[in-house]
Amino acid sequence: MVSFLKLVSILIKCRAKTILALSQNSFRQILRSLTPVPDGRTSNLSDTRIIYVNRSVQQQISFRFENITSLLDHPDFDLQKPTVFYIHGYVEIASDASVLHVMDAYVKRGDHNILVLDWANLAFGNYLKVVLNVKKVGKESGKALGKLLNNGLSIDGLHVVGHSAGAHVAAVVARVLKEKGLTLLRLTGLDPAYPGFYPAIDTHPISSKDAVFVDIIHTDGGKYGTPFSTGHADFWPNDGKSPQPGCPTVTLILTKENFCSHWRSWQYWAESVVGGNFVARNCANYNAFQKGNCSGTARMGLQATPELRGDFYLRTASKEPFALDDTGVA
């Protein structure tokens, strides 16, 4: 570890002499991949939690699977509102900006119950081990949601959203509910993880069979994200590949900068939650999009509608706000 940290220091000092994008936080993901479990957590499935985000991202209450139904007794949990269940990705924790950014968007929107699956205790360390944890985390999470549904939560208002490996956890959740006769109306994958799922090592990846409407946003296809159409509606901003606009073109693998395009998916999603208008066109491929050989339009993000089928392309800005409205398909 000492030699690795020395290497980090050397690389950062050399940053000004090269075109390599690095920052003080560049190696966080790498360090987490070398950490079996976050501080204060255990690798037991019983330490996985569901977090209820109340009136701000700072107001969070954690529930273990075994006592999840007590969530329904919280005075601010409104059974008349739709509920979003968000699932983070590999080596992420619930207090990361990636999770808080999405949650804050829903808080600002103000019309959802907000739940987060905190599976950081099983999402750290060796990637292969984490891939093998996906199915068991998804199964127990699905059982927990089933308890909520059996005690008053409406399946019609439940929307499960997963980023990266979390998208495949979300798919397992949906399958568990379907086995109980409860079919999700909507399941969303944000740049679903590619390595370990194509071909599948243990868990079948997210697909259009998992819910009535499955929409996917691709931003790093062929690298960290899946390069295939897997939903009813697949959205490909900027061809769904890296580098996304505003992301560095030269990076070190597994650094924060290297994840930039992969993380654009949740940034685009969060912006759509607060009203960002990501207009896309239904096209055969990006070449057809660039030539204008497309059919109708749709909206990427929360505003995507369940009748959509096919592949949709658009352009985005290089910084927030990313949505370009109609300009993104002009």
Residue 240 lies in a domain: yes
Residue 328 lies in a domain: no
Q: From the centroid of its chain, how far is CA 43?
A: 22
pTM of the entire predicted model: 0.93
Q: Which is nearest to 302 in space by CA: 161, 98, 167?
A: 161
Written as one string, the DSSP assignment of 248-282 is -SS--TTSTGGGHHHHHHHHHHHHHHTT--EEEEE
CATH of residue 214's domain is 3.40.50.1820
- Do residues 153 and 80 lie in contact, with contact meaning Cβ atoms separated by under 8 Å? no
- The predicted pLDDT at position 330 comes to 92
- The predicted pLDDT at position 19 comes to 56
Residue 201 lies in a domain: yes
- The predicted pLDDT at position 5 comes to 47
Residue 97 lies in a domain: yes
Number of domains in the chain: 1
Domain that holds residue 131: 2-279
- The predicted pLDDT at position 160 comes to 98
* Per-block mean pLDDT, blocks of 10 residues, the chain (330 long): 46 47 85 96 97 93 97 96 98 95 97 98 97 98 98 97 98 98 98 97 98 98 98 98 96 93 98 98 97 96 98 98 97
Residue 307 lies in a domain: no
- The predicted pLDDT at position 22 comes to 78
